[in-house]
Amino acid sequence: MPEFESIFTLEATQLKFGDGSAEELGWELKRLGLTSVILVTDPALHAWGLVERIEAIIAKAGVKFARFEDIRVEPTLESLNKAVDFCAQHRAEGFVALGGGSTIDTAKIMNLIAVHGGAIMDYVNPPIGGGKKPPSPLMPLICLPTTSGSGSEATTVAILDIPELHVKTGISHRYMRPTLAIVDPDLARSTPGGVTASAGLDVLCHAIESYISKPYNERPKPASPDERPPYQGSNPVADIWSLKAIEFAGQFLARAVADGDDTEARGTMMLGATMAGIGFGTAGVHIPHSIAYPIAGMKHVFHAQGYARNYGFVPHGYSVIVSSPAAFRYTYDAAPAKHIQAAELLRGHKIINPDAESLPSALIDMMKAIGAPSGIAELGYGEADFPEIIAGALKQQRLLAGAPKAVNAKVLETILAESLYNWK
């Protein structure tokens, strides 16, 4: 008889939210005693004057900075190595990240290697990488997200693409968690609607996957506190964050996509993204995210609206959402009441005669409403790709361990077949 876990933890990033909160960055840098930082940012933000605005705030606080902006959306090992090289040339006492999840993840990895050295692959989650753990805390990292999606400002994870292996994977450790997230709705005003759509669907998956993940006390007890994974399974504290994020997405996501100047909708989605980040950073994501990694990593032929890039790629939110209706159809009988509750929060009203289709259909209606791709076929995949997608998803055992039902190749094949076209 295996012994079950009896403990869960909540280790949340400090959060400062609200209009004008970015103006307090200087005060925060001084509070942390920083005199020099590396500013990691997305060059697309120059068009909106955001980089200049944040640099002026840092300079006014008397803090020296060096700017790194050679960011790739969905970072690769190659783009991250460039970022790490930059740190070797510019010593600093901390980091400020201004941008979306890719920017924040790049800053996390720069911080890790700047402090502890070694190769990035040494730290990547096994079996793909060496699984090395940073032996001591990193430098302070303040994040100012400009999209409402990844929740990376609130999590211990950095995701990277390894095109040679056709796989996306990550580095996760509690020391990778940012020191502070400053979430200012005004910073999201410039984000194109297509980016807000993909990012918002990522939020929704973070929240729902976390809420229905296998409860922490049904998972095996770790041998020591050091072995307790960052993703611990659903628990009463993570659930609060996840449920609120689902409710926010139901109320505000379509509005946030339609109108960048709707700062109430954009701001609430940003808050929802961070809240979902705290929820999934504790409970964990599973089936849709495990499938998303090979889907984003294998083919680079999709061109998404709103992303000013000259290379094809699948934005993370789309790679996740496409398999979510089928995934939650599969998991329904593990926890029917939780699936129905998620569907009702998303729809914003009670569902009469709810069933296994309630949540998939609520998700599909949301996808249609905000212009998401209809399934993995639209992203360039067909049945012939299933074996490779399945092999890639099965490599994400760290995630699949959190699914509320067992997942094997046969289950994944059914989910993929249902996900080719969620509608026609």
Binding site residues, Fe ion, CB under 5 A:
202
Q: Smaller CB distance to Fe ion: residue 233 or 284?
A: 284
Instruction: Give CA–CA dist 285/139, Å, rounded.
Output: 27
Three-class DSSP category at 377: coil
- Residue closer to Fe ion by CB (options 161, 202) is 202
d(CA 364, CA 343): 11
Least CB distance from residue 309 to Fe ion, whole Å? 19
CB 319 to Fe ion: min, Å: 9
Instruction: Name the residue whose CB lies closest to Fe ion.
Output: 202
* Cβ-based nearer residue to Fe ion, 63 or 73: 73
* CB 396, min distance to Fe ion, A: 12
For every residue of 82-143, DSSP letters joined together read HHHHHHHHS--SEEEEEESHHHHHHHHHHHHHHHH-S-HHHHSPTTTS--PPPSS----EEE
Contact partners, residue 259, CB within 8 Å, separation at least 6: 265
Secondary structure (3-state) at 41: strand
Q: Which is nearer to Fe ion, 87 or 207 (CB)?
A: 207
Identify which of residues 74 and 202 has a Cβ nearer to Fe ion in the complex.
202
Looking at the Cβ atoms of 101 and 360, the one nearer to Fe ion is: 101
Least spacing, CB of residue 278 vs Fe ion, in Å: 14
Minimal distance in Å, beta carbon 181 to Fe ion? 16
User: Strand, coil or helix: what is 235?
Assistant: coil
3-state secondary structure of 158: strand
Handedness of CA 76, 78, 82, 85 (dihedral sign): positive
Of 26 and 402, nearer to Fe ion (C-beta) is 402
Contacts of 225 (CB under 8 A, 6+ apart): none
**How near is the Cβ of 182 to Fe ion at its closest, in Å?**
21
Dihedral of alpha carbons 404, 405, 410, 415, sign: negative
Q: What angle do helix axes 193-211 and 287-298 make, rounded to 10 degrees?
A: 140
| Nearest residue to 205 via CA among 255, 164, 245 | 245
Least distance (Å) between residue 320 CB and Fe ion: 5
Nearer to Fe ion, 100 or 233 (CB): 100
Cα–Cα distance for residue pair 316/296, rounded to 1 Å: 7
Residue 35 · residue 64 · CB < 8 Å: yes
Q: Which residues contact 139 (CB under 8 A, 6 or more apart)?
A: 92, 93, 94, 95, 111, 114, 115
Of 331, 253, 318, 329, the residue nearest 291 (C-alpha) = 318
Contact predicate 285/212, CB 8 Å? no
Our CB check for Fe ion shows the closer of 58 and 246 to be 246
State which amino acid sits at residue 219: R
Q: How far is the CB of 324 from Fe ion (least distance, A)?
A: 11
Report, in Å, the least distance between residue 285 CB and Fe ion.
6
Closest distance between Fe ion and the C-beta of residue 291, in Å? 12
Nearer CB in complex with Fe ion: 129/317: 317
Peptide bond preceding 127: is omega within 30 degrees of 0, i.e. cis?
Answer: yes
Minimum CB–partner distance for residue 374 and Fe ion (Å) = 20
How distant, in Å, are the alpha carbons of 56, 85, 109 from that of 71? 21, 13, 12
For the chain, the residue count is 424
Cβ closest to Fe ion, residue 206 vs residue 219: 206
Residue identified by tokens 């609130």 is: 154
